[in-house]
Amino acid sequence: MQRARRSPADRAFRPEGRGLRSLSIATVAAMALALGLVFFYAPLDAEQGFLQKIFYVHVPLAIVALSGFVVAALMAIAHLRTRDARWDMRSYVAIHMSLIFAVATLLTGSIWAKGSWGHWWVWNEPTLVSFLIVFLLYATYQPLRFSIEDPERQARYASVFAITAGAFVPMNFIAVRLSTAYLHPRVLGSTSNLPAKMAFTFAVSLLAMALLYATLCKYELTAKNARAQLRALRRLADRRAGVGEAAQAAAPRRRSAAPSLHAPATMTARAAGRPGA
Partner 1 sequence: MNALQLEGLARHYGEREALADVSLSLPEGQTMVVFGSNGAGKTTLLRVLATLLRPHGGSVRVFGSRLPEEAWAVRGRIGLLAHEPLLYRELTARENLRLHARLHGVGLARVDELLELVRMDGRSREPLRTLSRGMVQRVAVARTVLHDPQLLLLDEPHAHLDPAAVETLDALIGAPCGRTRVICSHDPGAGLAEADLVLGLRAGRPALLGAAGELSVAQITGLYR
Partner 2 sequence: MRRTVGALLRKELLVELRTLESVPGMSLFAVTTFVVFHFALNRDSVSGDLAAGVLWVTLLFASILGVNRLFVADADQGGFDSFLLAPVDRSALLIAKALALLAYLLVLELVAVPAFALLLLGPSLGQALPGLLAVLLLGDLGVAIIGTLVAALAVRTRARDLLGPLLALPLFVPIVIGGARASSPLLALAHPGDPAARWLITLALYDLLFGLITYGLFDFLLED
Query: Residue 147 touches which of partner 2, partner 1, none (CB < 5 to 8 A by kind)?
Result: partner 2
Query: Residue 231 touches which of partner 2, partner 1, none (CB < 5 to 8 A by kind)?
Result: partner 1
Q: What is the closest distance, in whole angstroms, from the C-beta atom of residue 10 to partner 2 in the complex?
A: 30
Give me the residues that bind partner 1 (CB under 8 A), please.
Answer: 83, 150-152, 231, 235, 245, 249, 253, 260, 262, 264, 266
Choose between 45 and 238: whose C-beta lies nearer to partner 1: 238
Residues 209-238 binding partner 2 (CB under 8 A) are none
* Residue 196 CA, distance from chain mean position: 31
Q: What is the closest distance, in whole angstroms, from the C-beta atom of residue 247 to partner 2 in the complex?
A: 28
> Is residue 168 involved in binding partner 2 (CB under 8 A)?
yes
> Is residue 161 involved in binding partner 2 (CB under 8 A)?
yes
* Burial category of 140 from C-beta neighbours within 10 Å (exposed 0-12, middle 13-18, buried 19 and up): exposed
Q: What is the closest distance, in whole angstroms, from the C-beta atom of residue 74 to partner 2 in the complex?
A: 14
Footprint of partner 2 (CB under 8 A): 80, 133-134, 136-137, 140, 143-144, 147-149, 153, 156-157, 159-161, 163-164, 167-168, 171-172, 175-176, 178-179
